[in-house]
Amino acid sequence: MNYYDEIKNELINNEINRTVKKYSINKSDLNTYFNVGKMLAEAGKHYGENIIGDYASRLGKELNKKYNERTLRRYRQFYNFATNLKWSAMPTKLSWSHITELMVLSDEDEINYYINVVNNRNIGYRDLNRLIKNNEYSRIDENTKNKLRKKEQLTVKDLIKNPILIKNNNNYKIFSEKVLQKLILEDIESFLEELGTGFTFIKSEYPIKLGDRYNYIDLLLYNIKYKCYVVVELKVTELKKEHTGQIMIYMNYIDENIKSLEENKTVGIIICKKNNKFVIRYCSDNRIIAREYVLV
Amino acid sequence: MTYMNYIDENIKSLEENKTVGIIICKRDNKFVIRYCSDNRIIAREYELV
């Protein structure tokens, strides 16, 4: 008998069972809270609002103190919440903690967005709370929101937030591009998430040679979902017409010298203190976008 | 590029062709032109005589 394999299989089966159990416990919880909420809503209609407090004190004595008035009201809120909305994604993957975070929202598209984020990125309820506090949905482009609503395919630029939030924990006072770059690198993961999904970091101050002169790309990234390089230029001023020409040169250099044939065309993001819609409007290169940054 | 596109959008009429741009400079830089994907733009050096 191969003892090691048997041991390993036993342990694997147990882990699978535990995951399945967790999922069905969660599903049972949500079903229960929905039904309880429904009955609380109807009881409230028949006997008035105070009935919830009554039930809470009785349940507290007969069952468990955790079924207090606040919790019961939450169940009823959940029932109203669930029946008023048509959810695009099955919410049973979400835990009760996630759902309590979502119940403060009323826009159905916004709720669906966060449900997808939780499902795709497997984030916990504390992170979800942080995203909602940072108004992540409201920082998404309007066109992207339409695409999400119609469940269309997204492009690499679609989920780049505006404005991009950059943490300034050390409270730097004198501000230059070097400082902005340093802040981004200090928490590169948050920055990459602000851009969307699939962005990875290659190098900062990436050197390219134009003739006998060196130029340096502020940040060179690669998006593994959309398979393209991403050139990021940082500006601490308003977006100027010179910026689009400059980033185009960098992007085309990458396309010609670094990019391989199967990869898609390089995309450019100019992160600036203040956007200028005319510069973007008269930029005929649609691989280039501009976004503002805000220090938090 | 910004200036050329402004002209195309606000001044140019539909029958006219796209605006062209000439950068006249003291010294050319073939790499800047090579990596410029906008073929309406050319660069030329000048000389004082």
pLDDT tens by residue, A200-229: 999 999 999 988 889 999 999 999 999 999
**What percent of chain A has pLDDT above 70?**
97
Question: Does B36 sit within 8 Å of A283, measured CB to CB?
Answer: no
DSSP 8-state symbol, A238:
B
Q: What pLDDT is stored for residue A217 in this prediction?
A: 96
Q: Which residues pair with A90 in a beta bridge?
A: none
Residue B31 has pLDDT above 80, yes or no: yes
Q: What pLDDT is stored for residue A27 in this prediction?
A: 85
Cβ contacts of B39 on chain A, cutoff 8 Å? none
Count CB pairs under 8 A between chains A and B: 52
With cut-offs at 50, 70 and 90, classify the pLDDT of residue A86.
low
Decide: A89 and A112 in contact? Cβ < 8 Å. Answer: yes
> A256, A180, A266, A183: which is closest to A220 by C-alpha?
A266
Closest A-chain CA to B8: A282
Residue A90 has pLDDT above 70, yes or no: no
Domains of chain A: 3-138 (no CATH), 142-295 (3.40.1350.10)
> A243, A248, A257: which is closest to A208 by C-alpha?
A257
With cut-offs at 50, 70 and 90, classify the pLDDT of residue A186.
very high
Query: ω before A91 within 30° of 0 (cis)?
Result: no
Q: Model's pTM, two decimal places? A: 0.81
With cut-offs at 50, 70 and 90, classify the pLDDT of residue A6.
confident
Residue A85 has pLDDT above 80, yes or no: no
Structure tokens at A189: 């993961």
Q: Give me the residue from B2, B32, B34 closest to A282, CB to CB.
A: B2
Question: What is the C-alpha separation between A108 and A85, in angstroms, rounded?
Answer: 6
Cβ contacts of A241 on chain B, cutoff 8 Å? 1-3
The mean per-residue pLDDT over the stretch B18-39 comes to 92
List, for residues A12-44, the tens digit of each pLDDT value.
Answer: 889 888 888 888 888 888 888 888 888 888 888
Cβ contacts of B6 on chain A, cutoff 8 Å? 278, 282
Residue A81 has pLDDT above 90, yes or no: no
Q: Give me the residue from B29, B31, B38 closest to A284, CB to CB.
A: B38
DSSP 8-state symbol, A243:
H
Decide: A268 and A139 in contact? Cβ < 8 Å. Answer: no
DSSP state letters, A50-74: HHHHHHHHHHHHHT-TTS-HHHHHH
Mean pLDDT of chain A: 89
Closest B-chain CA to A214: B31
The mean per-residue pLDDT over the stretch A84-92 comes to 62
Q: What pLDDT is stored for residue A22 in this prediction?
A: 85
The mean per-residue pLDDT over the stretch B21-48 comes to 93
Decide: A272 and A143 in contact? Cβ < 8 Å. Answer: no
With cut-offs at 50, 70 and 90, classify the pLDDT of residue A181.
very high
The answer to whether the Cα torsion of A225, A230, A235, A241 is positive or negative is negative
Q: What pLDDT is stored for residue A116 in this prediction?
A: 87
B→A interface, C-beta within 8 Å: 1-3, 5-6, 9, 29-32, 34-38
* CA of A282 vs chain B CAs: smallest distance (Å): 5
Q: Give me the residue from B5, B29, B35 closest to A252, CB to CB.
A: B35
The mean per-residue pLDDT over the stretch B3-24 comes to 92
List, for residues A234-287, the tens digit of each pLDDT value.
Answer: 999 999 999 999 999 999 999 999 999 999 999 999 999 999 999 999 999 999
The mean per-residue pLDDT over the stretch A154-168 comes to 91
Decide: A208 and A245 in contact? Cβ < 8 Å. Answer: no
Instruction: State the virtual CA torsion across A120, A122, A125, A130 in degrees, nearest 10.
Output: -60
Strands A199-210 and A288-295: unpaired
Number of other residues whose CB lies within 10 A of the CB of residue A140: 20
Strands A288-295 and A164-166: parallel
Q: Which residue has the tokens 């979800």?
A: A128
With cut-offs at 50, 70 and 90, classify the pLDDT of residue A173.
confident
Question: Does A241 sit within 8 Å of B37, measured CB to CB?
Answer: no
Q: Give me the residue from B3, B5, B35 closest to A253, CB to CB.
A: B35
Q: Where are the domains of chain B?
A: 2-45
